Amino acid sequence: MFEDLFPTKLYHSYIVEGDPTTTPFELRDYLISSGRINSDSPDVFFELYEALDMDQSHGIREWHTLASSSGSSRVCIIGAKNINREAEQSLLKMLEEPGENTHFFLVIPDKSNVLPTILSRCHVVQAEKKDKYGSWVDKFISASIKERLDMVALVVKSAENADTSATLRHEALNILNSLEGKIFKKYKQDIIKNKNLEWVVGEIIKSKKYLRNPGSSVKMLLEHIALVI
């Protein structure tokens, strides 16, 4: 999967759009098999986060300032479902002062999850992503408003039984990404006839942005989309 995504000589920083719970492992395996890293080396930083916070980002920056223990490349692979604003600012400072022969990979569900200033300093690649909610979204689109609201309630209840609130935001983003793709595809089939869908896509995009705010209500955002599609 990664052979065609990365050049022979790696750039300093990458944003990898993919599943933050599985793609980091696949990326690490690729870098090991291609001889770019040794998994047991202290020059490799590998960590997964539900919601990357400021303290955790400071730990990453501290690792970033260390010298290589072997004189070879140093690689940082991070998977994060969500990143708070303070952590983003900390990561941005690190990206503004790249370490020598150091390569940084941040795996997130969607590049819209991070600040534009971070994106401007990274090469963005898209790993192969499966549409986890494809069939669910098809049913959601064709359902009545009441049925959609019931479906939202089930998603929220299911995620609330998981480990952290970051899980719910991650699942909501997966739903909105799938929904955006399907609605936009239908809109493009007949732009004149489906003019109203342009507004719906805009509402989905706005909801994705609001998801980045820790204080936003995921349930209310999904319910809003249930009412407008």
- pLDDT for 202-216, tens place per residue? 999 899 888 878 788
> Which domain does 84 fall in, by range?
13-126
Domain membership of residue 153 (yes or no) is yes
pLDDT band at 69 (very low <50, low <70, confident <90, very high): confident
> For 9-41, b where at least 16 C-beta lie within 10 A, e where not — what string?
ebeebbbbbbbbeebbebbbebbeeeebbeeee
Q: At 117, which CATH number?
A: 3.40.50.300
Mean pLDDT of the chain: 86
Last residue of a domain, one of 126, 159, 176: 126
Are 109 and 155 within one domain?
A: no
Domain membership of residue 215 (yes or no) is yes
Domain membership of residue 6 (yes or no) is no
Domain membership of residue 4 (yes or no) is no
Are 208 and 151 within one domain?
A: yes
Domain membership of residue 8 (yes or no) is no
The gap from C-alpha 88 to its chain's centroid, in whole angstroms, comes to: 13
Are 37 and 97 within one domain?
A: yes
> How many C-alpha atoms does 16 have within 13 Å on its Cβ side?
31
151-167: average pLDDT: 77
Spatial contact of 221 and 207, defined as CB atoms under 8 Å apart: yes
Are 81 and 154 within one domain?
A: no
Domain membership of residue 1 (yes or no) is no
pLDDT in tens, 44-63: 999 999 889 999 999 998 88
Are 145 and 204 within one domain?
A: yes
pLDDT in tens, 99-140: 778 899 999 988 887 899 999 999 999 886 667 788 999 999
pLDDT tops 60 at residue 163: no
Domain membership of residue 3 (yes or no) is no
User: Cα separation of 212 and 52, whole Å?
Assistant: 12
Are 116 and 140 within one domain?
A: no
Looking at the 3D structure of the chain, how many domains does it have? 2
Query: What per-residue confidence (pLDDT) applies to 161?
Result: 60
Are 224 and 139 within one domain?
A: yes
pLDDT in tens, 133-144: 889 999 999 999
Last residue of a domain, one of 76, 93, 126: 126
Are 107 and 46 within one domain?
A: yes
Are 217 and 196 within one domain?
A: yes
Are 84 and 40 within one domain?
A: yes
pLDDT tops 80 at residue 81: yes
22-38: average pLDDT: 86
pLDDT tops 90 at residue 188: no
User: Cα separation of 102 and 65, whole Å?
Assistant: 10
Query: What per-residue confidence (pLDDT) applies to 130?
Result: 67
Last residue of a domain, one of 98, 126, 154: 126
Are 163 and 212 within one domain?
A: yes
Query: What per-residue confidence (pLDDT) applies to 129?
Result: 66
Are 171 and 84 within one domain?
A: no
Domain membership of residue 5 (yes or no) is no
